[in-house]
Chains A and B, each alone.
Chain A
Amino acid sequence: MALFSAFQTTFLLALLSLKTYQSEVLSEPLSLAPESLEVSIDSARQCLHLKWSVHNLAYHQELKMVFQIEISRIKTSNVIWVENYSTTVKRNQVLRWSWESKLPLECAKHSVRMRGAVDDAQVPELRFWSNWTSWEEVDVQSSLGHDPLFVFPKDKLVEEGSNVTICYVSRSHQNNISCYLEGVRMHGEQLDPNVCVFHLKNVPFIRETGTNIYCKADQGDVIKGIVLFVSKVFEEPKDFSCETRDLKTLNCTWAPGSDAGLLTQLSQSYTLFESFSGKKTLCKYKSWCNWQVSPDSQEMYNFTLTAENYLRKRSVHLLFNLTHRVHPMAPFNVFVKNVSATNATMTWKVHSIGNYSTLLCQIELYGEGKVIQKQNVSVKVNGKHLMKKLEPSTEYAAQVRCANANHFWKWSEWTRRNFTTAEAAPSEAPDVWRNVKSVQGHCVVTLFWKPLSKLQANGKILFYNVVLENLDRPSTLKLLSIPAPANGTELTLDRCSYQIHVTANNSVGTSPASVIAVSGDPGNKEVEEERVKGTEDGFCLSWKPQPGDVTGYVVEWCERPGDPLCDLQWKNLGPNTTSTVVSSDAFRPGVRYNFRIYGISTERIPYLLEKKTGYSQELVPSDNPQVLMSNLTSYSFTLSWKDYAAESQPGFVQGYSLYLKSKAARCLPGSEKAVLSDDSICCKYKIDNPKQKTFVVENLQPASFYEFFLTPYTSVGEGPQGAFTKVTTPDEYSHILIRIILPMIFSILLIMILCYLKSQWMKEKCYPDIPDPYKSSVLSLIKSKENPRLTIMNVKDCIPDAIEVINKQEGTRKSLTETEPTKPTYLYLLPTEKSHSGPGPCICFENFTYNQAASDSVSCGHVPVTPKAQPSQLGLLTSSENVPKALGKNYVNSLGEIPAGETNLNYVSQLASPMCGDKSSLPTNPPEPALCSEYKTQMAIPMGLASPPSITLLDEGEHDH
């Protein structure tokens, strides 16, 4: 029973509760709650992806709904994000929604819940929130692993200027962890005991390889880090523009923004979207894209260019009318026709840009690289333009471009054509000048002319015609044709007067004639040359106006004065001109230019008026004169440099500077102290007269050393520093000595020459071969003794060819004065009656006054007996070494000391006198010495030694017979 009652009670309660439920359901409207909510994470993007669906919708029912999503962090009560997401929902449709977390998802646990409500006007009764779903928890930390430390986010890529949140997750509570960015410690906030968060604001671009951010624990070897990549801000495209050239294709261009600055290049994409047509195209290239113009005559275009990379999307817009963006193609079929000397016609065609469009074409005419004509022409299809006022025989370039005349957008490219106008006859007469020389009675005229300028020639000059008109015989004409490009010719004329006509000719015609006359009278009058000073602008020349009729003036000069082909130049001037400036690029400093100014008479005859000479720029003298020194005295010397060519110097020599160095401290009068470039001090004489070529340096000191150096100077300065010449003044008396010694030397030389010339006479006078006994000094000695018995032996007294035999008493000693004359006994060698002329036996006598040694060379050939073979007494004297000995003694005494019996026979020559004597005093018929006797060469014995013995020997009274 009890069991039954319990069952009954339970049944009733269940029935009651069912009834209650049924009443509730029926009383409340149907709610559409999100179901099957799933949450997933994308760590790389730090995103939570939500996925859900709504099941309670009827089949094919589609409602607009709003879903409210709540995201909490760490704990569910800490809601950090609430968002309403509206969308259209179908039954069982999977709905998705994503949320990007600022905090890396690994840093904290996240929970998500949501509820939904119908937001559809069709079902207003359902506009209330459904119940919340349960919290869906996302906890990445639990799946990280067991490492002690983690740092998030990994490899984050952000734009510079962004805010980045970094965190670390530590597994240990004890460790104190510090984190660093670029070596600088970061300070964060503790999210929970294991998690710390760092907020980096406005991060800069640091480097393209990213930035290391790391955290390390105080204890242990744990370092963990991440690399943060900060890219540069992705810029929007610039200069977005579209245009068409053919109305078929639009070409859109833009300038992409700067690079992201990361090596891991962020891929960029560019998309072109046209809103009117709704078409979209992905551009292949980074800076341009083509768009096909629709064939349905769409005029307006609204383009959106979207540039996109991983981080950002940028868009630019462009709205335009197609016909306003026409960039015409370059004109084609461009020709230059009907080209004459002064006109030409240009024709061209253009690409059509529509049936009613007109193009504006611009024509430019270039001459010598510059625009000389510019013209605009309206063109439909064909264009034509006449170019006037052209120069003959000139190269031109004509170019044309076009643009839309109604809505100018851009000019087309130029189309260019070159052409040359036709030639015309030369417009100007050639500028002619002449040079006249007289050669062997003829007049040689060299004609010069300047080539016509391009404007004057009007074409290529082919030849020049020279017509010679003899003024004395007017009917006589002579024509010369000189082919171009000659600029002159030489004519040999007689003394007549001529008028010369020169014309230039091209293929079309002849120029006006240039007339110049040559007079039979050269009329070269002497004109004094004036100096003219050149400047940087040239030479300013002026001349006196001529009183008579002058048709003009001509200034003539040579541009290369030193050259035989002096490059003659001239300048024509009007009759009222009396000055001009002659300038030329050929003028060089230091070169003297000579100018001649001619007047042109009414008969076209030039006559010389003035001469000018000058330098465009004077320089210092290029070389110094060769100085000759003369008249050197003790007090002065003279310098001269007459050969110095002052005219060839690169400036007008105004004088000379003489530098004199001396030991004297003071400079002489007329000079002043000067310091040379080597800092040495000397005295300087200034010679102001350039024509003075000698200079006397005076007031010098005798026997002093000087150095001098002479240099010319121009208005610019002195010549080059050269070597000093050394000079020493002579002693004061040396000139006197020279005056004496020179005549003496001269006299001695004269005497010597005379002596040489009169040597024979001198010999005879002074040292004859056969001395004259009468002239001997012995005579005086003899006379002084007054011995009357002593006489000079006469030739007559000689008995030739006989030997006088002298018997000498032994032991007797007598002096010369005591010797008794005895009658000599002669031993005749030849018959006395025989003539002397015949050859006979020859006896050689030794003359003891002659040198024995010298006599050896002329030993007698007739007698084989040599003196050495003579008896001993002779032998004593023949020895050369004994001669001085013997002669050194008093011969008188020596004779007395001769031992008796040693010598008792002496041979005495009967021909030769033992004394010096005059040959002229010899007998008129002297014996022939060459036949019978010879004398040996006399030895040069001192007079004091030689004389006494000879005297003794020849004194016949001395000898005992």
Chain B
Amino acid sequence: MKVLAAGVVPLLLVLHWKHGAGSPLPITPVNATCATRHPCHSNLMNQIRNQLAQLNGSANALFILYYTAQGEPFPNNLDKLCGPNVTDFPPFHANGTEKTRLVELYRIIAYLGASLGNITRDQKVLNPNALSLHSKLNATADIMRGLLSNVLCRLCNKYHMAHVDVAYGPDTSGKDVFQKKKLGCQLLGKYKQVIAVVAQAF
């Protein structure tokens, strides 16, 4: 059973990263045993804090790089095109318990990770020469992957939670180019706003 659980969790994690998955997916079966492939780091919360600080520190630069690469009208109409109007973004309550905050953080990072995947894919086509933007997007996605793993470890170890329902943003693959740019910009604006709150909460 342990072996099964150990194999299922990473597999579902991989599936979870699939770009454009629009509907919520359970990370693990509800009755799955909480187990992690590797032992969690002893100073897990500190690592989570550091990763959040890292994300918070680079979020604004990523946002600027993004809207600059899209060209006019984006840089001069940030409020209209890049406002954090992401309706289905997972909520976060900074005054909740650690468990609640970790669960909400998990949902947010999962949402952001999927959205960043879409943005990265789109930008490689739309702005193939914006290498610094690609690099920043990839670096952010890498940190998010690590953060997601750490949060899962924490939930599993301390709260014995093996299952968190997550939701993803809309798939942009069928949208027109301008809409792709706009959705990406909105998402990154939201990300910049949310990550500051989340980093502060931990």
Q: Are the C-beta atoms of A212 and B79 separated by less than 8 Å?
A: no
For the complex, what is the distance from the CA of A214 to the CA of B73, rounded to whole Å? 7
Contact partners of B72 in chain A: CB under 8 A = 180, 182-183, 212, 214
Binds B, one of A223-231, A357-365, A635-643, A881-889: A223-231
Which of B125, B126, B128, B178 has the most chain A CB within a 10 Å cutoff? B178
Contact partners of A226 in chain B: CB under 8 A = 176-178
Q: Are the C-beta atoms of B73 and A210 separated by less than 8 Å?
A: no
A762 at the binding interface (Cβ < 8 Å):
no
Q: Are the C-beta atoms of B176 and A212 separated by less than 8 Å?
A: no
Q: Are the C-beta atoms of A223 and B126 separated by less than 8 Å?
A: no
When A212-B71, A263-B125 are in contact, do A227 and B80 touch as well, CB less than 8 Å? no
A24 at the binding interface (Cβ < 8 Å):
no
When A180-B73, A183-B72, A216-B80 are in contact, do A155 and B177 touch as well, CB less than 8 Å? yes
When A263-B128, A264-B125 are in contact, do A210 and B77 touch as well, CB less than 8 Å? no
Contact partners of B178 in chain A: CB under 8 A = 151, 154, 212, 214, 224-227
Which chain B residues numbered 131 to 182 have a C-beta less than 8 Å away from chain A? 176-178, 181-182
For the complex, what is the distance from the CA of A225 to the CA of B182, rounded to whole Å? 9
For the complex, what is the distance from the CA of A223 to the CA of B72, rounded to whole Å? 12
Contacts A/B (CB < 8 Å), 6 sampled: A209-B71, A209-B129, A216-B73, A221-B80, A223-B77, A263-B128
Contact partners of B126 in chain A: CB under 8 A = 209-210, 263
For the complex, what is the distance from the CA of A224 to the CA of B74, rounded to whole Å? 11
- Interface residues on chain A, number (Cβ under 8 Å): 20
The residues of A with any CB-CB pair to B shorter than 8 Å are 151, 154-155, 180, 182-183, 209-210, 212, 214, 216, 221-227, 263-264
Q: Report B114-126 CB contacts with A as 1/0, cut-off 8 Å.
A: 0000000000011
Closest B residue to A211 by beta carbon equals: B71
B83 at the binding interface (Cβ < 8 Å):
yes
For the complex, what is the distance from the CA of A226 to the CA of B128, rounded to whole Å? 19
B50 at the binding interface (Cβ < 8 Å):
no
For the complex, what is the distance from the CA of A209 to the CA of B72, rounded to whole Å? 12
Q: Give how many A-B residue pairs fall within 8 Å (CB-CB).
A: 54
Contact partners of B81 in chain A: CB under 8 A = 223
Which of A182, A222, A224 has the most chain B CB within a 10 Å cutoff? A224
Contact partners of B182 in chain A: CB under 8 A = 225
B70 at the binding interface (Cβ < 8 Å):
yes
For the complex, what is the distance from the CA of A263 to the CA of B73, rounded to whole Å? 21
For the complex, what is the distance from the CA of A244 to the CA of B176, rounded to whole Å? 49
Contact check: which of B73, B127, B128, B129 meets A225 at CB < 8 Å?
B73
Q: Are the C-beta atoms of A221 and B83 separated by less than 8 Å?
A: yes
Q: Report B177-189 CB contacts with A as 1/0, cut-off 8 Å.
A: 1100110000000
Contact partners of B74 in chain A: CB under 8 A = 212
Q: How far is the CB of A610 from chain B (nearest CB, A)?
A: 81
Q: How far is the CB of B87 from chain A (nearest CB, A)?
A: 14
Contact check: which of A180, A221, A264 meets B79 at CB < 8 Å?
A221
For the complex, what is the distance from the CA of A292 to the CA of B92, rounded to whole Å? 70
When A223-B77, A223-B81, A263-B125 are in contact, do A154 and B176 touch as well, CB less than 8 Å? yes
Contact partners of A216 in chain B: CB under 8 A = 73, 77, 80
Closest A residue to B85 by beta carbon equals: A221
Closest B residue to A44 by beta carbon equals: B176
For the complex, what is the distance from the CA of A151 to the CA of B179, rounded to whole Å? 11
Q: How far is the CB of A150 from chain B (nearest CB, A)?
A: 11
Contact partners of A151 in chain B: CB under 8 A = 178
Q: How far is the CB of A866 from chain B (nearest CB, A)?
A: 111
Contact partners of A212 in chain B: CB under 8 A = 70-74, 178, 181
Closest A residue to B77 by beta carbon equals: A223
Q: How far is the CB of B137 from chain A (nearest CB, A)?
A: 16
Q: How far is the CB of B73 from chain A (nearest CB, A)?
A: 5
For the complex, what is the distance from the CA of A225 to the CA of B80, rounded to whole Å? 12
Contact partners of B79 in chain A: CB under 8 A = 221
Q: How far is the CB of A262 from chain B (nearest CB, A)?
A: 11
For the complex, what is the distance from the CA of A209 to the CA of B178, rounded to whole Å? 12
Q: Are the C-beta atoms of A223 and B177 separated by less than 8 Å?
A: no
For the complex, what is the distance from the CA of A216 to the CA of B182, rounded to whole Å? 14
Closest A residue to B124 by beta carbon equals: A263
Contact partners of B83 in chain A: CB under 8 A = 221
Q: How far is the CB of B136 from chain A (nearest CB, A)?
A: 18
Contact partners of B80 in chain A: CB under 8 A = 216, 221-223
Q: How far is the CB of A183 from chain B (nearest CB, A)?
A: 5
Closest B residue to A151 by beta carbon equals: B178
For the complex, what is the distance from the CA of A702 to the CA of B42, rounded to whole Å? 102
Q: How far is the CB of B3 from chain A (nearest CB, A)?
A: 46
Q: How far is the CB of B150 from chain A (nearest CB, A)?
A: 37
Contact partners of A210 in chain B: CB under 8 A = 126, 177
For the complex, what is the distance from the CA of A210 to the CA of B182, rounded to whole Å? 15
Q: How far is the CB of B130 from chain A (nearest CB, A)?
A: 9
Q: Report B79-94 CB contacts with A as 1/0, cut-off 8 Å.
A: 1110100000000000
Q: How far is the CB of B83 from chain A (nearest CB, A)?
A: 7
For the complex, what is the distance from the CA of A227 to the CA of B179, rounded to whole Å? 9
Q: How far is the CB of A147 from chain B (nearest CB, A)?
A: 11
For the complex, what is the distance from the CA of A183 to the CA of B70, rounded to whole Å? 13
For the complex, what is the distance from the CA of A225 to the CA of B127, rounded to whole Å? 17
Contact partners of A221 in chain B: CB under 8 A = 79-80, 83
For the complex, what is the distance from the CA of A263 to the CA of B177, rounded to whole Å? 13
Contact partners of B77 in chain A: CB under 8 A = 216, 223
Q: How far is the CB of A707 from chain B (nearest CB, A)?
A: 72
For the complex, what is the distance from the CA of A182 to the CA of B79, rounded to whole Å? 19
Closest B residue to A181 by beta carbon equals: B72
Q: Report B8-24 CB contacts with A as 1/0, cut-off 8 Å.
A: 00000000000000000
For the complex, what is the distance from the CA of A778 to the CA of B125, rounded to whole Å? 145
Closest B residue to A182 by beta carbon equals: B72
For the complex, what is the distance from the CA of A709 to the CA of B127, rounded to whole Å? 79
Q: How far is the CB of B122 from chain A (nearest CB, A)?
A: 12
For the complex, what is the distance from the CA of A224 to the CA of B71, rounded to whole Å? 14
For the complex, what is the distance from the CA of A216 to the CA of B77, rounded to whole Å? 10
Contact partners of B181 in chain A: CB under 8 A = 212, 227
Contact partners of B128 in chain A: CB under 8 A = 209, 263
For the complex, what is the distance from the CA of A388 to the CA of B191, rounded to whole Å? 88
Contact partners of A182 in chain B: CB under 8 A = 72
Sorted nearest first, the 8 A-B pairs with minimum C-beta distance are A154-B176, A227-B177, A225-B178, A223-B80, A221-B80, A214-B73, A155-B177, A227-B178
Which chain B residues numbered 60 to 74 have a C-beta less than 8 Å away from chain A? 70-74
Contact partners of A223 in chain B: CB under 8 A = 73, 77, 80-81
Contacts A223-B77, A225-B182, A227-B176 known; 13 new A-B pairs at CB < 8 A: A151-B178, A154-B177, A154-B178, A155-B177, A183-B72, A209-B71, A209-B127, A210-B177, A212-B74, A216-B77, A221-B79, A227-B181, A263-B125
Closest A residue to B127 by beta carbon equals: A209
For the complex, what is the distance from the CA of A180 to the CA of B126, rounded to whole Å? 20
Closest B residue to A229 by beta carbon equals: B177
Q: Are the C-beta atoms of A155 and B71 separated by less than 8 Å?
A: no
Closest B residue to A212 by beta carbon equals: B71
Closest B residue to A180 by beta carbon equals: B73
Contact partners of B177 in chain A: CB under 8 A = 154-155, 210, 226-227
Contact partners of A264 in chain B: CB under 8 A = 125
For the complex, what is the distance from the CA of A264 to the CA of B178, rounded to whole Å? 15
For the complex, what is the distance from the CA of A703 to the CA of B38, rounded to whole Å? 104
For the complex, what is the distance from the CA of A246 to the CA of B79, rounded to whole Å? 70
For the complex, what is the distance from the CA of A180 to the CA of B70, rounded to whole Å? 15
Contact partners of A180 in chain B: CB under 8 A = 72-73
For the complex, what is the distance from the CA of A210 to the CA of B126, rounded to whole Å? 8
Contact partners of A224 in chain B: CB under 8 A = 178
Q: How far is the CB of B67 from chain A (nearest CB, A)?
A: 12
For the complex, what is the distance from the CA of A214 to the CA of B70, rounded to whole Å? 13
Closest A residue to B71 by beta carbon equals: A212
Closest A residue to B73 by beta carbon equals: A214
For the complex, what is the distance from the CA of A209 to the CA of B177, rounded to whole Å? 10
For the complex, what is the distance from the CA of A323 to the CA of B150, rounded to whole Å? 76
For the complex, what is the distance from the CA of A84 to the CA of B114, rounded to whole Å? 53
For the complex, what is the distance from the CA of A151 to the CA of B50, rounded to whole Å? 44
Closest B residue to A210 by beta carbon equals: B177
For the complex, what is the distance from the CA of A226 to the CA of B182, rounded to whole Å? 11
